Each structure stands twice: as structure tokens, then as C-alpha cells.
Amino acid sequence: MAAGLQLLAVALPLVFPLVSSFPLDHRPKYTQTTCGYDSCHPTKPGMLNVHLVPHTHDDVGWLKTVDQYYYGARNNIQHAGVQYILDSVVDQLLKNPDRRFIYVETAFFYRWWKQQSATMQQTVKQLVNEGRLEFVNGGWCMSDEATTHYSAVIDQMTLGLRFLNETFGPCGRPRVAWHIDPFGHAREHASMFAQMGYDGFFFGRIDYEDRSRRRLAREQELLWRASDSLPPPMADLFTGVLPNGYNPPDGFCWDQSCSDPPISDDPDLEDYNVDDVVHRFLSIVYSQASVYKTNHIIMTMGSDFQYENANLWYKNLDKLIHYVNAQQSNFTNVNVLYSTPSCYLQELHKANLTWPLKRDDFFPYADSAHDFWTGYFTSRPALKRYERISNSNLQTCNQLEVVGGPASRKGPFGQGDSKILQEAMAVAQHHDAVSGTEKQHVADDYARRLANGWQHCQVLVSNSLAVLSGSSAKRVFCNNLNISVCPLTETSKKFSVNVYNPLARPVMWPIRLPVNGDSYSVSDADGKSVDCQVVPVSKATQKLRKSRGSAVNELIFQVQAPPLGYTTYSVSLLEDGRPPASARLQTPTVMQNKYLKVTFDPDTGLLSSLSNLETNQSIRLTQNFYWYNASDGNNWESIQPSGAYIFRPNSSVPFIISKTAETESIQTPVMQEVRQWFAPWVSQVVRLYADSRALELEWTVGPLPIDDNLGKEVITRLDTDIKTSEYFYTDSNGREVLQRKKDFRPTWHLTQSEPVAGNYYPINSRAFIKDDVDQLTVVTDRSQGGSSLTNGSLEIMLHRRLLYDDVRGVGEPLNETSDIFPEGLVVRGCLLLTLDPPQNAADRHRPLAEEMVLQPLLTLTDGSLKPGTRLEFSGLQAVLPPAVHILTLSQWDKDSVLLRLEHQFQSWESQLYSQPVTVNLQKLFSTLDVLGVSELNLSANQWKDEMKRFDWTPEREGKPLLKMFEDPSVWEVTLRPMEIRTFLLRVKLR
């Protein structure tokens, strides 16, 4: 790229001295290397080449915790010890230079590497340099694709790939993305992998109907066009469906966990079986080759936590290769070789064929007619929310580490550290972590890791804010504000609230603080009085928090925080102020501010309409709660029960929890709300703030009753008069939006066997329904499953409690309890509703979803702040344009930071903002001088101008040529719709 080359030529000399193994030119000098594509064994052009790929699939937590899996503890649950796998594999690779092995999960490899001697480390480097040990995928984990947010996926991939790059140089860089176990595949993941420089992508799980069609059409290998905004081939990714999930062919598993017979090749012994083995293997080879397109096929020789005794595998694989290839003298045309996914991919690329083009995604995934893996979109909703909060906390921690400088890591509050939370968040992206498909004690461990990481980040945040404000007064973090618990605000007569905003634009945000006083005054950083209101704590909140807090009231006020910075509000108790607002028992007919109008049916207490007063739009809107009766597997159609993975209701019609709601209402100038009670275990607050263009639905669900021995899957459903024609829309990992249609798949003719579960899709941050006039958008606070099963309707699953395991390996029902909630987990969450014309709805929901993901962080200080305290600060010189989001700002090393700028609009969705935007990097930060800049790929493990990928040609289209765009100058960078650009900046603190 001309622009990139120009930028690098000017800027790189400033950056080079500061980066140890970045760029790749400055890696440590290794012995001669033949890794990557140069290390592949030769194939035979006129033959059917069988690429055997020895591998292990090591879950970063599932039935055991990540620590238990690494050390091999609690083998009564599952026999698995990753440290022994790596020990054994390295030993066996050294015995035969022809052997190959791939490894995926850097979280495990990093642990193992740290425990090795210098001699062993050098030995492993040599294996990597010779391509005998190859890393694929290379992230900290193999992330889930349905329930992860793109920002957290990019972070965990960066963490793992950075370790590989700094440890092994270019030979440690994976060429292939490898998601053999995730339960469905997101288009945004493919887009990210393409932008990370991967040449191809392989996975194991695909819908059973989709696989059948692709086998017949020989379309199990394809070109995935993973963005409708980025110009091809920027987000194009060659994608292959593996032939047997990720397991070896039947009869050819030689792990200690398997029972297949070894190859007995002594003809003098009774169990001699070489002829039988060769015959069975060739039969499988020809069968597999008949459903793929080239004279190359791949076989995954390994599975979950295999190769703990690698000698068993390699001894038999050596024999298999020898005896099958010996048949070439008898005119068989099969050539078997040790290989890797990248070597297999290289042969497909050399074939120079055209490939079918795919533009949608691989959701939902079913492995048979009544087994749709759509339950995990919602499973463990509390963990899903905690992961999302932790991501927001991590981004704030990373930002303050940069803008606060070195003192943030070592300051008045001690040693601050962001690394622990970074690693905890990376582990939480695993496809059996945030997905909610792990055993209960493992889910507890993921949450504990996140909490521990946040404790370390709190020190860093406190140090940074002390530096920026000039005050080392103790800061208090109240992590239970969602249930009105904060000991400081409940007892203090005077305190200050520091509000840090991690977004690159100012935000207005409502604050609710638990208090015991009746009246308070609030002033902003300029000393101006701020409208505030005291309201009574709801009965639902009192019941939910139990003995953890004692506040009788909540203090509510609106804050406005500067971009990438903080502001401070002072709060004082008034002795003779006005009394708190009181709750009225009747349902109001209307709630209204200057933007929105909401009406209620006084007979039912339910919503009846929503109007946008700015655009003169109005829709009929009713909303209620329902539950699906979860199948227990005792069914004439199928014995499949609902479980952590599988959603299978007994009926297509859910049970309504209550046709009416008991209500009370509070109406104040600051906020209006209607509190609704549907059942002892379901309540909601419909809330409208004075300056908000979104209606808030704060729902509380649980404990789900099971004394009737019925598992329950609870939804909320919005019913409108919008003419949707069976279409609805969901986001992919929080970024691009995909169109969905009931009972339809773009790729094949669907035989719908589960009319509810088969229409559920993952909702990561938003979903909407629309017609030509109205668009109702719902922004979520965590990943959830949802659908539109009738015209004008949108339903979202909130909570699940099930009494049976779904027979997918986890081995226990999804029946969450805790010490606080022994009768069943209670979950609270929030949905934000907007109504807009479709042509500019994204102007509202894009920033709203961004605010939901990266919420302001509150820290509190008791008493009065000392004179001279800096009450307001922004880390930016100016507000960034609305289309631009600072996705990443983190410390890379002593004098450099990693910056990702993102254009957050798709090319088609906004007349106003779907345009290129230019940002000047030198005029970006208020506390940093930017001295040098160099551009990296998305995962920050290659220089952008050195990133070269295989090009592929789609069927019925020409080969796309990468468009070259030139930036206005070295320091001015232009972002186009949905583009993320990654920079390494050399900086100096001002």
C-alpha cells in the first residue's frame, strides 16, 4: 500500500528502538528456519494426498478449571493434564523429523513455557523453526463465536499472538484460524480473522442439513465474504469444514483414552492386522475424497486432551503412513503424509480453483432435527453480564494506565496491574466460558478470576486518578450499585463522585446511588447545582439485595462526563430539604419527556404504545414475560432435553406469567418510572429519564420456581404493529448487523423441525424489527438469544433453569444456585428501546450500544476534596467525530502504546455517518506527545504493509483486487465504514 509504505518510511525509525520483537525485522536471530509453508512435506500431484494432522483440543476450562486442566488435577471428573501433553509431544517430535504437531491454546502453552529450562526452550524453538511444531489460531483461547463481544475477542487474540511473536518470531505466527469446537460460527469472527492476516479458517461444527447439502455439492470448502461494508477481499476468508468434527476417523484413534486396536504388524503374531487397517483406511479416504473438491484431504488425528502419551499416537501413525504408502507399488493412488492445516491450505491454494461464496453466517447450529444449540446464547446470564462489565472495567483500566503514566502502575495506592484482568478476560472468552456451558464450579472459577483481576486494576485506576486529579484521597468502588448497595453513600453526609468516561465523546448518564437521607444537594465540577431526586428503593430491590445493604432511598441525577476523561460531582445531605418522591399505587396512562412518550393500559398495567416526539412516530407496543417449558427428553419425537447448550421447548406457545401487572409509579422532573410486579419471581421497572431518547426496561427474574418439576426458559416479548414480513435483525459479536428471516436459511432449503429453537439467534448487543416507516431497536446489556416468531414481534430470552443435562458432555443440569440465592439464581438486567425511522436508526443505536458496553466508571471519596483538586479532565484534545470509536488504548511497553481506531457504522446504515472520517494522531491526546507511528494488522502481530494473504477466487465472480487508499498525511489517518485500524505509537508523557 502506497500510503502505508510512506507512513512507515517516515515513522518507523522513531519506533524501532522501543519494541523488542516488533516489528518482525527486529526479532532475535534464530538459526536457519524452514517453518510455515516452507516446512511442508512434498505431496504427489497425480495422487490423492491425505494430510494427517496430529493435534489436541485443550479446553481452557470446561469440566475442570483451567488450573485443574493444566496440572491434571481432579481426574475423577475427566482425565486430562495439559502439561503432560506438551511434555510428551515434544519428546516424540524429537524422535522423528517427519512428525508434525499443531498447538492452539496459548493460555496453556504460556504456562508450560515458563516452567521449562533454557535448554528445553531452545529445543522447542528449534522444533518451531523447522515447522515440526506449529501454532494455529494462537489466541489465548479458542473463543466462543455467539456470546463474545468483538472487542474482547480482539484483545484475547492479541494477547496470545503477542506471546508467540515475542517468543518465536515469524515462525510462531499462525497462518490458519482454527475453531474446531465452537457451536456455530459468526460472520464477524471471520472478518476479524481476515484482518488479522490469516490465510484460511477451519472449523468442525456445522448444521447437519447444511453439511449434507455441502457434501453432495462438494462445497465444504468455500470463500466467506464476512463484511458487507469492507471492500473485498479485506474481509474475505477461505473457510473449510473439517470432515469429522475434530476427531480421527472411526477405528483410527490411538490415544490412551481410546479403545481402537493398535497396528499389529508382526505377521508371525495372531493379531496381525496391517491388511485390514490399510483396507479400512483406504475405504475412508475414498469416501472422504468424494465429498471434497481437490486431490487433497485432511484428517484430524486427535481430540480432547489427547497425546498425554504421544508415543501411542506417533508409533501407530508412523506405521499407518508406511503401510498405506507401500501400497503405491500395487498401483493405489493414495499418498499419506504428516501435515498441518497450513500445509493443507497451501495445496488448496495451489489448485487455483474457484470456490463457492458465502455472505451470511453459520447460526443457528443443530446436530440433528431436534437438537438446536441455541440455549447457550442465554445460559448463565449473570456470568454473561459480569464478563461484559469486566470488559468495560478492563478498557478503563488500560486507558488510565496510559493517560496516568508510570505512576498509575506504582503510586500512592500501591502496585497497580492490568495484566491479571487482561488474562482473566482472555480466558473468559473461551467457548465453554462466557457461553455458559461449563460445570458450575468452573463458572465460579471464571468469575473469581475476573473479580481478582478487577481488584488489581482498582489499584491502578486509583493511582492514575490520583495523578490526574492531584488528590490521593482514598477512592471507593461500589460494585453492587445495580442492587442499591454502597456502604459509603448509605452512611456519608458528604462525598464526591468521580465519573470516568471511557468513550471518545462526551456522555450523559444517569446515576443512582443508595442513600438513607431524604434530601441532597448535588453540584458539578464548576460548582453549579445539578437537578437531583430522592426516590424510595423498590420492594424488588430490597428483596434482591437481602442483608447486603440497608439504604431506604436512591439519589438520582444525570451526569455529563468529558471524552476519555472524568468529571466530579459533590453530594451533600440536606437537613431541611424536600421529602423523597413517593410511589403512587395506580398506573399512569402516560410517561413523557421531550423526546419520547410511553402509554400504559390502566387495566393491565402493561405498556400500550411508544412514540418518538421528534419524528412524530408512534407504534402499538405491548410487553410481557413468558416461559417455555423445557423438554425433559421424554418425547415421542426425540429424547433430547433442554440443557446448557440445547434449547428445546415442549411447545411452540410459551406460558404467560401474568396477563396483568401490579404497579406503582414515581414521577419526578429527573426521572419517571413504573414498577411492575408480574409474579414473586418476575418484576420490572419501566423507566424514562428527562434527557433520554431511550426507554429503559430493568428486569429482575428469579429464582425460577421448579417445585412443579418443570424446567423453565424465561423470555420477554415485545409485540408491535410494525409490518416485519417475518424479517428481523441481529448483530454479529456487537458489530455488523445481519438480516434474519423466520424458518429460512440463505444457504439451503430449511426443513424446520423446531419452530422456536430453530429460529433463535445470538444477540450480542442489539436486535431490531422494522418496516418502511418504523424501526424498534432493543439494545441489550449482555449476550442473549432471541427471535421474531410472529410479525411485529421480538422476543429475548432472559434466564434459564433446567432439570436435566442435555447429553453434550457437561454432565450436570443448568440449575444455578448460590450461597446468597440457595433457592435459585436471581438475575437483573436492562434493555434499552428506541423508535426511529429506519434510515437514521443507526445514528441512535450505534452510540447507545457503545455506551452500554463501555459504561462510565464511578469512584467515590468520603468527605470534602482538598483545595486544588482537579475536578475535570479529558485525555483528548478534542471530541472525536461520532463515527469514530477508540477501541483500544493500552500500554504496549515503556514508551509506546497500542491504539485502535474504529469506524462504527456500516456502509449502508447512516446517511450522516456512513462516510470516511479522518483523524490526526498528533492532535489526539492531551497528555501525550505522539513522536512516531507505525500501522499494524488487527491483532498487532504484523506490520500492516508486510501482511500478505493468499488470494482466492469466488465462483461466478472475478478475483477481487484489494483497493488502495492513501491517507492525507503521515499523521492523518482515514477510517472507512466498519474499518478498524491499529497503530503502535511512540509517545512521551507531557
Residue 135 near residue 90 (C-beta atoms within 8 A): no
> Which residue type sits at 686?
V
Cβ partners under 8 Å of residue 710, min gap 6: 629, 630, 803
Nearest to 798 by CA among 653, 683, 664: 683
List residues bridging with 739 in a β-sheet: 729
Cell of 536: 424510595
Judge whether 966 and 7 are in contact, CB under 8 Å.
no
> b or e along 697-709 (b: 16 or more beta carbons within 10 Å of the residue's beta carbon)?
bbbbbbbbebeee
Per DSSP, the three-state class of 255 is coil
Given the C-alpha cell 476479524, which residue does it identify? Answer: 192
Q: Specify whether 58 is catalytic.
A: no
| Per-residue confidence band for 578, with pLDDT thresholds at 50, 70 and 90 | confident
Cα-based distances in Å from 916 to 310, 608, 889? 53, 41, 22
Q: Identify the band that residue 8 occupies on the pLDDT scale cut at 50, 70 and 90.
A: very low
Is a pLDDT exceeding 90 seen at residue 946? yes
Secondary structure of 757-820 as H, E, C letters: HHHCEEECCEEEEECCCCEEEEEECCCEEEECCCCCEEEEEEEEECCCCCCCCCCCCCCCCCCC
Q: Which amino acid is at 982?
A: T
How far apart are alpha carbons 339 and 50 in whole angstroms? 9
What does each C-alpha distance from 734 to 393, 848, 853 come to in angstroms?
17, 12, 9
* Residue 428, C-alpha cell as written in the block: 473468559
Q: Phi first, then psi: give them for residue 429, nearest 5 degrees.
A: -80, -10
Residue 677 sits at φ, ψ, to 5 deg, of: -120, 120
d(CA 316, CA 320): 6
Residues 381, 564, 733, 806: what is their CA dihedral angle, to the nearest 10 degrees?
-20
How distant is the alpha carbon of residue 982 from its chain centre? 19
Catalytically annotated residue among 58, 59, 155, 181? 181
Its sign, for the CA torsion 128, 133, 134, 137, is negative
- Nine cell digits for residue 982: 491499529
Q: What pLDDT score was predicted for residue 961?
A: 82
Q: pLDDT at residue 12 above 60?
A: no
Cα–Cα distance for residue pair 186/180, rounded to 1 Å: 13
How far is Cα 116 from Cα 110, in angstroms, rounded to an integer?
10
Residue 30 is predicted with a pLDDT of 41
Per-residue pLDDT at 14: 35
Confidence (pLDDT) at 920: 97
Cell of 953: 477466487
To 5 degrees, how large is the angle CA 316–CA 321–CA 324?
115
* C-alpha to C-alpha distance for 454 and 447, rounded to whole angstroms: 11
What residues form DSSP beta bridges with 533? 556
Provide mean pLDDT across the span 693-717: 98
pLDDT at 9 over 60: no
The string of pLDDT tens digits covering residues 589-610 is 999 999 999 999 999 999 999 9
> Which whole number is the average pLDDT over 357-383?
98
Q: Confidence band (pLDDT; 50, 70, 90) for 962?
A: confident
Render pLDDT for 280-330 as a digit per residue (tens, 0 to 9): 999 999 999 999 999 999 999 999 999 999 999 999 999 999 999 999 999
Name, in order, each residue with C-beta under 8 angstroms of 680's C-beta and a sequence gap of 6 or more.
none
Whether 953 contacts 355, CB under 8 Å: yes
DSSP 853-869: HSPPEEEEEESPPPTT-
| pLDDT for the residue numbered 11 | 33
pLDDT at 186 over 90: yes
Question: Can you tell me the mean pLDDT for 461-468?
Answer: 98
Cβ-Cβ contacts under 8 Å for 821 (sequence gap 6 or more): 702, 703
pLDDT at position 735 is: 98
H, E, C per residue of 161-221: HHHHHHHHHHHHCCCEEEECCCCCECHHHHHHHHHCCCCEEEECCCCHHHHHHHHHHCCCE
* Whole-number percent of the chain with pLDDT over 70: 97
Q: What are phi and psi of 218, to 5 degrees?
A: 55, 50
Q: How many residues does the chain have?
A: 990
How high is the pLDDT of residue 826?
97
Beta-bridged to residue 836, according to DSSP, are 775
Mean pLDDT of the chain: 95
Q: What is the pLDDT of residues 203-223, one digit of tens each?
A: 999 999 999 999 999 999 999
Terminal Cα distance for the chain, rounded: 33
What CA–CA distance (Å, rounded) separates 537 from 551?
7
**pLDDT above 50: residue 96:** yes
Question: C-alpha angle with apex 769: 738 to 914, nearest 5 degrees?
Answer: 55
The 532-536 sheet, strands edge to edge: 507-515, 553-561, 532-536
Asked if 651 and 636 touch (Cβ cutoff 8 Å), the reply is no
- The predicted pLDDT at position 1 comes to 39
Say which residues have a Cβ less than 8 Å from residue 749's Cβ, sequence separation at least 6.
none
Q: How far apart are CA 664 and CA 680, in angstroms?
A: 15
Instruction: Note the pLDDT of residue 32.
Output: 56
And the C-alpha cell for 905?
457504522
Cα–Cα distance for residue pair 37/72, rounded to 1 Å: 34
Span 120-128, average pLDDT: 98
Give just the sign of the alpha carbon dihedral 174, 732, 423, 982: positive
Contacts 24+ apart (CB under 8 A), 89-96: 89/56, 89/133, 89/307, 89/310, 90/120, 90/123, 90/124, 90/127, 90/133, 91/310, 92/310, 92/311, 92/313, 92/314, 93/127, 93/132, 93/133, 94/123, 94/127, 95/314, 96/314, 96/318
Q: Give the pLDDT of residue 429.
A: 98
Mean pLDDT (whole number) for 376-405? 98
| pLDDT at residue number 942 | 97
Query: Do the Cβ atoms of 835 and 617 come closer than 8 Å?
Result: yes
DSSP H or E segment with residue 701:
strand 695-701
Q: Which three cell numbers stand for residue 933?
A: 507511528
Cell numbers given for 767: 436486535
Place of cell 459480569: 386
pLDDT tens, position by position, 614-661: 999 999 999 999 999 999 988 788 999 999 999 999 999 999 999 999
Separation between Cα atoms, residue 304 and residue 282, nearest integer Å: 25
